[in-house]
Chains A and B, each alone.
Chain A
Amino acid sequence: DIQLTQSPSTLSASVTDRVTITCRASQRISNRLAWFQKRPGKSPQLLIHTASRLESGVPSRFSATGSGTEFNLSISSLQPDDFGTYFCQHYYTYPYTFGQGTELEIK
């Protein structure tokens, strides 16, 4: 199975800060990667698919890059609503797997 390793595991930042989360795959996955935000008590929400394509309705402060084994999700200017846990997921080969999550706390 392909392992996805996210870093950092936790992140504390202030409103208007720029933050970046990294997701590394244990083998090449082309651009078959998605990013999700999950707030406590809520279902996950798709932010990015195909490594860098912003999902419709997601604010443009979210962006992502990467291909192969290294991927980054950035939030250009943190807003209070951006707290929660961020997950990456690949859909390159079966079984699809998720990263362990990055918990983002707003200071």
Chain B
Amino acid sequence: QVQLVQSGAEVKRPGASVTVSCKPSGNTFSGFYIHWVRQAPGQGLEWMGWLNPNSAVTHYSQKFQGRLTMTRDTSIRTTHMELSRLTSDDTALYYCARGPAGWLQFIDSWGQGTQVTVSS
């Protein structure tokens, strides 16, 4: 079973940025995408986008265009999700998740989640 280990909880002020890290198990970055999904309190799941950690190609949901950045650091085999210009609406549990690369982009494994709280 693939494991995805996320960084710890964050508390941010409105207007700030947050970066959440996600390290997949295994010794290769090829063959899969890293997706980011969030769940705000009392709300459903919301897909944010994906990163191909092998090529660094990304696709973001239009909703987050301009303030979402997904990157990878191949030297430490870790991926990052940065969300800028935070508002209270960004308070949520953020999950990284993994799925196969290619045309069937379903999610097959999830990280443990990282709580991001935006509060003044």
Contact A98-B108, Cβ < 8 Å, known A43-B95, A43-B113: no
When the two chains form their complex, are residues A34 and B107 in contact, meaning their CB atoms are under 8 A apart? yes
Q: Is the CB of B110 within 8 A of A45?
A: yes
Write out the residue numbers on chain B whose beta carbons fall within 8 Å of the beta carbon of A57.
1
B62 & A95 in contact (Cβ 8 Å cutoff): yes
Q: Report how far A86 CA is from B2 CA in the complex, Å.
A: 21
Q: Say if the beta carbon of B24 comes within 8 Å of chain A.
A: no
Q: Give A93 to B48 CA distance when docked, in angstroms.
A: 13
Q: Which of B47, B62, B109 is close to A89, meaning CB atoms less than 8 Å apart? A: B47
In the complex, A100 has a CB within 8 A of chain B? yes
Q: Mark B100-112, 1 if CB is under 8 A from A, else 0.
A: 0000111111111
Q: Which listed residue, B105, B108, B113, touches A96 by the CB 8 Å rule?
A: B105
Q: Which residues of A contact B111 (CB under 8 A)?
A: 43
A46 touches B44 (CB 8 A): no
The listed residue with most A CB atoms (<10 A of its CB), out of B62, B95, B107, B112, is B107
Return A90 CB to nearest CB of chain B, in Å.
9
B10: which A residues are within 8 A, CB to CB? none
B59 located at the interface, meaning its Cβ lies under 8 Å from any Cβ of chain A in the complex: yes
Q: Which of A34, A97, A98, A101 contacts B106 (CB 8 A)?
A: A34
B61 cross-chain contacts in A, Cβ below 8 A:
94-95
Contact A101 B47 (CB under 8 A): no
B106 touches A95 (CB 8 A): no
A87/B45 in contact, CB under 8 A? yes
CB distance from B57 to the nearest CB of A (A): 14
Q: What is the chain A residue whose CB lies nearest that of B109?
A: A46
Q: Determine whether A32 belongs to the interface, using a CB cutoff of 8 Å to chain B.
A: yes
Please give, as numbers and ranges, the residues of chain B lying within 8 Å of A50 by CB-CB distance: 104, 106
Q: How far is it, in angstroms, between the C-alpha of A57 and the C-alpha of B47 when the chains are bound?
A: 25
In angstroms, Cα B112 to Cα A18, docked, is: 30
Q: Determine which of B46, B63, B108 lies in contact with A55 in the assembled complex, contact meaning CB atoms within 8 Å.
A: B108
The 5 A-B residue pairs whose C-beta atoms are closest, nearest first, are: A43-B110, A95-B61, A98-B45, A96-B47, A49-B106
